[in-house]
Amino acid sequence: MSLLVATGLRAEARVLAGPGVRTVAGGGRSAALEAALAAAAPKASAIISIGLGGGLVGDLRPGDWVVAEAVIEGTAETPPQSASLTAPPQAVEHLDAKILHREAGEVDPAEGGRRRGRSAHAITLPTDAAWTRALTERLPGARRGVLLGSDAMLTAVAEKARARVEWGALAVDMESHVAARVARRFGLRFAAARVISDGADRALPAAVRAALRDDGGMDAGAVVAALARDPLQIPALIRTGWEAARAMRSLAEGRRLLGPGLGLANLLELPLDMA
């Protein structure tokens, strides 16, 4: 049995790889990521989503860790697909009571009673509590809270601010909601942790979106073409590269601190602890 790791980039996957660990880089394609994770899940002992993410609150800076107590999957316009609401009996036994459907205008106590956006829909999936505690204890300065899983990259400051208000999340990434769905489907332990790469006040240049290949690699030719179309992106791209490099250093250090089992050691014999 292996530990299944969902991440975004091949560079992240290389950092996270190790004995007994199978990494899958999503490359921003949620359907392909879900299919790959589902194919590997029957031989997995647990699933973790870990890698880089975008900050949604102002005091999270590049290199900071967020450990998820829950992962939100939501859209601004339409409810989640029905496929996300189904699971085999072994998964339902542990998770059904923890799934929250946040409909339009619902008051959220975690946000001080503030109402969500009128068109907001979400499913909230909890992480394994014991694993989450282990991650928090080992990752320096880790902040616990909610992660938002998004099928689209949030590149504009306004998009990030809107996501914070809409969902109350600390950070966003493109893999955690997919990994959570697969974990629920197969009744596996699930955890998520993300290193902030771009803060809430940082807009990502268009070249960043162009650079991401479907296999999680980086397309240098696409970056050059994007810069040729808009050379004014160059300072922002350089800054983004510096901040991403800082995040990658934090990811590598976190990988070392978490050890071979990414914080899961001694937990596999315990029952699922969803809280």
Read off the pLDDT of residues 41-54 as tens digits, 9 standing for 90 and up.
999 999 999 999 99
Q: Which residue has the tokens 């809270």?
A: 145
Question: What's the chain's Rg over C-alpha atoms?
Answer: 18
- pLDDT on residue 144: 96
CA torsion 190-195-198-201 (nearest 10°) is: 90
- pTM for the whole thing? 0.78
Q: Which residue has the tokens 């928090």?
A: 136
- The pairing of strands 121-126 and 100-102 is antiparallel
Phi, then psi, of 250 in degrees rounded to 5: -65, -40
CATH number of 2-258: 3.40.50.1580
- pLDDT on residue 138: 95
Mean pLDDT, 10 residues at a time, over the chain (275 residues)? 90 93 89 94 96 95 97 58 31 33 36 37 84 95 95 90 92 95 95 96 78 64 72 81 94 95 74 56
Tokens of 133: 């505690």
- pLDDT on residue 123: 80
Phi, then psi, of 23 in degrees rounded to 5: -100, 145
- C-alpha 210/C-alpha 230 separation (Å) is 12
- pLDDT on residue 91: 32
Q: How many CB atoms lie within 10 A of CB 125?
A: 26
Helix, strand, coil shares, percent, the chain, to 5: 40, 25, 35
Q: Which residues touch 212 (CB under 8 Å, ≥6 apart)?
A: 9, 27, 28, 153, 218, 219
- C-alpha 28/C-alpha 231 separation (Å) is 25
- C-alpha 221/C-alpha 13 separation (Å) is 22
Coil, helix or strand at residue 139: coil
- pLDDT on residue 267: 67
Are the C-beta atoms of residues 183 and 207 closer than 8 Å to each other? no
- C-alpha 264/C-alpha 190 separation (Å) is 10
Handedness of CA 56, 61, 62, 68 (dihedral sign): negative
